[in-house]
């Protein structure tokens, strides 16, 4: 199985850089992942590694971290200040001194999380053993990550979470110039960011084209810089792509809409950095138990 990640604007057993991460663990990996050992500082392959892509659990292949959220903490181990929603479990150590982090899917040991260090605006450091992870490059044509925007990210996430084969969704911001933007800044329309939803899905159960079709049917791609009652450039319709295959797929769907008499204003641009939104925005309608007021599914294809 291969990993495909999509980010929609309003983050398994997979092949990683040519290697199947579902295979046997090495003795060193077993010590860290199964026995909760710690690799020596500054020894891991991902300590000073900053290529764009996604980090996966070495044992089961589940997506864990984005390269966007990795930073140089100078501690000797890979450091991240955020993870995919629901991907990492936090458990107090038996001595009560530290918080262990493990893969939420298989329970494999990753490392520990620390807060209060003020190393980034998120004030969190996931200190992870390189041996606990594998990596998928964003340049890999089968990596499949994209960013799309279609109005308020609450509603976009609500519908995309329901697509069969979707594993993870995360709301956030992308397309602008401000680092670590917050909701208030984005709503002020001075950051250049649009509201986004990141989607990670299983390609054996769904496809890029299916997710893009759903995206173009749950918002009105003919509305410029607004969606229903929500008005502003942060609500623009836009698709960010990571490779030519994604671009061609999006172009084909937009052309089909034109042939059907629609006039989509959806922008199509190279991928930009994704910034996860504040915790209270994540799975907003799922937590409330209600349905979106500004999005609905309208068949267009």
Residue 143 has a pLDDT of 56
Could you say which of 57, 152, 208, 294 is catalytic? 152
Check residue 140 and give its pLDDT.
66
pLDDT tens, position by position, 57-112 = 999 988 899 999 999 999 999 999 999 888 999 999 988 889 999 999 999 999 99
Q: What CA–CA distance (Å, rounded) separates 301 from 298?
A: 9
Look at residue 117 and tell me whether its pLDDT is greater than 60. yes
pLDDT score at 293? 86
Residue 8's pLDDT band (cuts 50, 70, 90): low
d(CA 101, CA 93): 10
Calculate mean pLDDT across residues 146-165. Answer: 90
The model's pLDDT over 208-241, given as tens digits with 9 standing for 90+, comes to 899 999 999 999 999 999 998 899 999 999 998 8
To the query of whether residue 106 is one of the catalytic residues in this protein, the response is: no
How many helices and strands, by DSSP H and E, does the chain display? 6, 20
What CA–CA distance (Å, rounded) separates 23 from 231?
50
How many angstroms separate the CA atoms of 250 and 71, rounded?
32
- The domains of the chain, with CATH numbers, are 18-137 (2.170.150.20), 147-288 (3.30.1060.10)
* C-alpha dist (Å) from residue 52 to 200, 207, 239: 16, 22, 19
Each residue of 242-274: pLDDT tens digit?
788 889 999 999 999 999 999 999 999 988 899
Which residues have a Cβ under 8 Å from the Cβ of 234 and sit 6 or more positions away? 186, 187, 189, 193, 194, 195
Average pLDDT, the chain: 88
**Does the structure show a pLDDT above 90 at 148?**
no
What is the CA 249 to chain-centroid distance, rounded? 20
- Provide the pLDDT confidence category of residue 22 given band limits of 50, 70 and 90: very low
Q: CB–CB of 121/181 below 8 Å?
A: no
Alpha carbons 290 and 163: distance in angstroms, whole number: 18
* Rounded CA separation 64/168 (Å): 10
pLDDT score for 187: 94
Is 103 a known active-site residue?
no
Share of the chain above pLDDT 90, in %: 68
- Identify the active-site residue in 60, 75, 106, 127: 127
DSSP-assigned letter for residue 128:
E
What is the pLDDT at residue 11?
Answer: 40
- At a CB cut-off of 8 Å and minimum separation 6, what does 68 contact? 52, 273, 274, 275
Residue 296 confidence (pLDDT): 92
Report phi then psi at 276, rounded to 5: -55, 140
3-state secondary structure of 2: coil
Collapsing DSSP states into helix, strand and coil, what is residue 14? coil
Q: How far apart are CA 88 and CA 64, in angstroms?
A: 7
State residue 47's pLDDT score: 96
Q: Band the pLDDT of 15: cuts 50, 70, 90.
A: very low
pLDDT digit string, tens, across residues 37-59: 999 999 999 999 999 889 999 99
Pairing of strands 124-128, 19-20: unpaired
């Amino acid at each position: 199985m291969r990993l495909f990640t999509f980010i929609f604007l309003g983050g398994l057993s997979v092949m990683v850089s040519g290697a199947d991460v579902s295979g046997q663990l090495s003795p060193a990996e077993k010590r860290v992942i199964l026995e909760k050992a710690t690799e020596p500082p500054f020894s891991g392959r991902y300590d000073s590694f900053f290529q764009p892509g996604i980090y996966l659990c070495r044992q089961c292949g589940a997506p864990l971290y984005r390269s966007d959220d990795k930073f140089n903490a100078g501690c000797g181990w890979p450091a991240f200040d955020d993870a995919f929603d629901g991907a990492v479990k936090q458990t107090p150590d038996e001595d009560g001194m530290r918080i262990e982090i493990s893969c939420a899917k298989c329970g494999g040991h990753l490392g520990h999380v620390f807060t209060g260090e003020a190393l980034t605006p998120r004030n969190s450091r996931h200190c992870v053993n390189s041996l606990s992870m594998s990596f998928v490059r964003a340049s890999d044509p089968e990596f499949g990550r994209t960013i799309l925007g279609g109005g308020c990210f609450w509603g976009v996430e609500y519908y995309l979470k329901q697509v069969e084969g979707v594993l993870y969704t995360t709301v956030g911001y992308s397309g602008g110039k401000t680092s670590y933007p917050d909701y208030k800044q984005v709503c002020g329309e001075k950051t250049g960011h649009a509201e986004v939803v990141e989607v990670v899905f299983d390609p054996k159960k769904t496809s890029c084209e299916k997710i893009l079709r759903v995206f173009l049917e749950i918002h009105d791609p003919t509305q410029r810089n607004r969606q229903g009652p929500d008005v502003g450039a942060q609500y623009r319709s836009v698709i960010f792509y990571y490779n030519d295959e994604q671009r061609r797929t999006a172009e084909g769907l937009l052309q089909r809409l034109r042939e059907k008499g629609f006039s989509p204003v959806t922008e199509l641009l190279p991928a930009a950095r994704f910034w996860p939104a504040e915790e209270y925005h994540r799975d907003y309608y799922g937590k409330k138990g209600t349905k979106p007021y500004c999005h609905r599914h309208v068949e267009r294809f």
